[in-house]
A and B are shown apart, each in its own frame.
Chain A
C-alpha cells in the first residue's frame, strides 16, 4: 500500500465499494426548495425504507413527496404502468394540486425498463400538470448527483429566451424595453439609486444549484455589490418561476456536483458556462465572484478586503484546525471544494475520496486546489475516485488523521477506535456557501476537535477491545 503524498494532484480510481446515500435522497431538500412541487419516487419498498429512515422527522410533516411503490404485478408487467401512474398522479393532483410532479426513476424502473420519459408527456397532457422525469438511481449516481439529474431535467422546462428577444426587437421605446428586460430583478433595480450601465442588464446571468433561500439571497447580494445582477436561479423557489434560458445567457454553478446540469445548459440550451471554483469558503467565494466579474469585464471592488475580513473573523477556529490532518472518505462530491478551503485554513489533507470526478466541470476548482496547496506549502492530496471504504480504513489506520470526514455508517466505529469524525452529510444540509457561512463550515469541522478539548484527559479515547 503506497501512502506517499505527491507533489502534483494525483488521481486514482478504486473499486467503488463505498458507502453513500442513494441519489433519491435529493427529494428531501428539493421538495422544500421548490415550494409548489411534488416528488413521486417510482421504486420499491427498499427506496421507501431508505427515505423514511434517512429523512427522519421530515416524514411526519406531511411532505410533498411519496413513493409509487412497485408491487409484484408491476414488475411482471401484469399491470399497466401508464394506468397505474395516471391513477396515482390524479390522486396527487386531487390531494395537493402541485404545479409540477417530478418522477424520480429508480434502479428498479431502469431494470424493468419502464419508459418514464415516454409516458410523462402523454400523461402531462391528460392530467394537465407538467411532469418532469429524473433518473436519480443508484446504478448510475451517488447522493448529491440526484439533484443534478433533477436540475438537468428541469433545465429543459425553462422558458426560451429567444422569444423574448424577438419581442424586444420590435419594441423601440426604451422605457418599455427596460421594463420588459428587468422584470425579474426589478426589486433590486429599484433600490439602486443611480441606474448603472451594466453588462448584466443585457446579458442575463443564471445561477444553478439548489440553495436555501437565505443563502441564495446572500450570494445575490455579494454579486450585487459588484454590480452584477442575477436574472434567475435554477431551481427557483417555485416551479412557475423557472429562469429564462437560451443563447447568450451566462450560467454559473454554485455546487460541484452539477456537471450534468452544466452540460445540459451548454449543449441543449446554448448557454455560456462560467467555469469557476465554487463559493464555498471565503477563498472560494472570492474566486467565484472574481471569475464571474472577469467574464463580464467588471473590476471587482473591495473583494480582497472583504475576504480578509472574513478570515480575520475566523481566527479562533483556524487556530484550532491549523496543522491538523483530514481524511475525506468521500460520498457527496463537495470534497474537492471543502478540502481546498480546509487547506487554506492550514490543515493537511491526506486523501480526498470522491464518488465521481468531473475534471472539466470542476477544472476551476482543481486549479484552485493546486494553487492553494502551493501557497500554503502543503503536499498535494491524492484524489481517489470511486473509493473502496475497506482500503480507506486500512490507510486511515496507518495515517491516523486528526479528523475523518465520513458517512454515518463509519462514524461511530471510527470514533470507537479513537479517530475523530465528522458526518459528511451535514455539509450537504448545512449552509456553507458565501462569505457569511464560512464560519458554519468551520463550526462543523471543529466540533469533534472542540469536543476533544473537553474530554481529552479522561483516558477513554479508544473504546474497542
Chain B
C-alpha cells in the first residue's frame, strides 16, 4: 500500500479508452462498477467534445460479484453493436474487473458470433502499466488486429504510394496540445512535399488501417504513444520510423534531415530526383520561425544563466530541456520525468543539458526539489504550476497532466516551426513575469494593489453580535466587505440596531428580491 494524493499518469484503462475513443466509429465498453466512467466527463469537459463519448460501462454490481457477469457483458456488446453499429468494440477491463478474473476473452468470442462489429479485448495489466503504456499497447493491438485481418483477406495491398507519404502515429484525445501539433505536423509535411497517408488514432477509421503500410515511413511525434506500433510496422513490413520529436529549432532540423534520408533511400525506385530540404530548414529557421531570432535578441540575452527546472512526460521534458539549454542559454538546474518506464532514454537525452536528473512519480519529491533549487521559473505540469504558486515561482505548463485551460481554443502547437514561437513566448512570459514580480517587490509593489475595503460604517450605531460576527467570518474574504455593507444598509433601512445572524439572512433574502 502506498499513501498517495496525486498521480501524474492515470490508470491503464484510461489509456485504452483514449485510444479507442480517438478512432472514429469505435466503441469501448468498460467492465466496471458504477462511477468508473469518469473518462466521459473528462473528455466532454476538457476536450469540450460535442459528441457523446463512445464509451459505456457494463456495470459490475453486487450481482456480478455473486454470480459472475453471465450474459451481461455479451448483452451489452450486442446491444451497442445494434445501437451504434461501430466498426470495432473494445472491451476494456478495469482494475476492479481484472481481479474478478472473469473470462472476458470468452465473452468477446461469444459476442463476436452474433455481432457485425469486430470485437477485441484490450490486453493491459492494470497493476503493471500506466495510462501512457496502456495507450501505446492498445494502439499496437488495434493496428495488429486489422493488419492480421487484412492479411487473411485477399485484397491486401502493401505497395507504396506514388508520392512520398507518411503516417503520423500517436495523436489522440486528451493529449497535451495534440490537435494543434497534428495540424502543424501536417503543414510541415506538406511543405516538404510529403503526403499524409494516415493519422492514427485521432480521427482515423479502423477499416483504413490495412492501408498503413502504403506510407514511405512513420512519424512518431511523442515517445509515450505510438512507438510500439511503429516498431511493429517496422518488423512486419520493413517500414522505417522517425521518433525524433520535432520540437525546438534543432530537433525540427534533425527530424527533417531524417525524413530526407528516408525519402532519398527510396529515390532510385520511385522518385526521379533526390530531395534536399536544407534550404527549407534554413529559410524556416532564420526567417519564418521567430525563435532563432529571439534567442539572438536582447530579450533572450537577459535570460542567460537564469535557473529553471523542467518536469513532465519524457517527450516534453526532454525537448524543453534541450530548448532551454541549447537554444536560449538558460541553465536547467534539474530536469525530470514521471515516465519511469522510459528513464534510460530520458537520462541519455538530457544528461549534458542539465545539472541534475530526477525520475519520480511522487509530486512531493518534485516539490522538495523545486524548493531546494529555487529556480526563477518552472516548466512542468499542472502540479508544478501549483507548487510554483505556493513558492511564488512562475510556471509554464509544458506537459500533461493539465487542466482545461491547456485545452486552448486558439492555435497553440508545441511542435514544428510555429511551435517554436509558442514555446519561446511561453518561456519568455514565464521569466518576465517572475522578474517583474521581483522588481515590484523591491520597489514596494503596485500602488493600486490594496483593495479598497473601507466600509460605509466606520462609526455607526450598528453593532454586530458575536453570532453574526462568527457568521460574517465564514464568508470568503473577497466578498465579506460587500456582505457587511449590504447587511448594514438593510439594518439601517429597517431600523435594526443589533445585527444578528438572522438579520444577515434577511438582508440576503431582501437583496434577492
Give me the interface of A with B, judged by CB distance under 8 Å.
16-24, 42, 44-46, 48-50, 52-54, 56, 59-60, 63, 66-72, 74-75, 79, 84-85, 87-88, 91-92, 107-108, 110-112, 137-143, 187, 191, 213-214, 217-218, 221, 309-310, 312-314, 390, 393, 407-413, 416, 435-436, 439, 463-464
Contact = CB atoms under 8 A, between A and B. Distances in A.
Given A108-B99, A140-B61, A221-B501, A70 B1 contact: yes
B505 A439 contact: no
Interface in B483-513: 501-502, 505, 508-510, 512-513
Interface string B39-62: 011101100111111001111111
Given A74-B1, A75-B127, A416-B50, A111 B11 contact: no
Contacts of B411: none
A103 to B, nearest CB: 12
Most chain B beta-carbon contacts within 10 A, residue among A42, A49, A416 = A49
Interface of B: 1-7, 10-11, 13-14, 32-38, 40-42, 44-45, 48-53, 56-62, 65, 76, 83, 94-96, 99-100, 126-128, 130, 383, 386, 389, 403, 467, 471, 474, 501-502, 505, 508-510, 512-513
Contact of B513 (A70, A313, A390, A393): A313
Contacts of B38: 21-22, 49-50, 53-54
Contact of A44 (B51, B56, B95): B95
A218 B41 CA distance: 34
Nearest to B34: A138
A408 B403 CA distance: 16
28 contacts: A16-B34, A17-B56, A18-B34, A21-B35, A44-B126, A48-B4, A52-B6, A66-B4, A67-B2, A67-B3, A68-B4, A69-B3, A71-B1, A71-B2, A72-B127, A107-B33, A108-B95, A139-B33, A142-B35, A187-B467, A213-B474, A313-B510, A408-B45, A409-B44, A410-B52, A412-B45, A413-B44, A463-B50
Nearest to B55: A409
B99 A75 contact: yes
Nearest to B510: A313
A52 B7 contact: yes
Contact of B5 (A63, A70, A191, A312): A63
A51 to B, nearest CB: 9
Contacts of B4: 48, 66-69
A139 B66 CA distance: 11
Given A22-B35, A313-B512, A45 B11 contact: yes
B48 A412 contact: yes
B53 A137 contact: no
Contacts of B508: 436
Nearest to A84: B1
B62 A139 contact: yes
A44 B62 CA distance: 19
A153 B94 CA distance: 28
Contacts of B512: 313-314, 439
B61 A112 contact: no
A221 B128 contact: no
Contacts of A46: 11, 13, 36, 94-96, 126
Contacts of A143: 35
Nearest to B42: A53
Contacts of A221: 501-502, 505
Contact of A111 (B32, B65, B501): B65
Given A19-B40, A221-B505, A313-B513, 17 more contacts: A16-B61, A42-B1, A44-B126, A45-B11, A45-B126, A46-B126, A60-B383, A63-B5, A66-B4, A67-B4, A74-B1, A138-B34, A142-B34, A218-B505, A309-B509, A390-B56, A409-B40
A60 B386 contact: yes
Contacts of B40: 19, 409
B59 A16 contact: yes
Nearest to A141: B34
Contacts of A85: 1
Contacts of A407: 41
Contacts of A56: 403
Contacts of A48: 4, 7
B448 to A, nearest CB: 27
A436 B509 contact: yes
A412 B44 contact: yes
A137 B49 CA distance: 29
A245 B225 CA distance: 57
A149 to B, nearest CB: 14
A315 B264 CA distance: 76
Contacts of A42: 1
B50 A412 contact: yes
A464 B49 CA distance: 10
A88 B95 contact: no
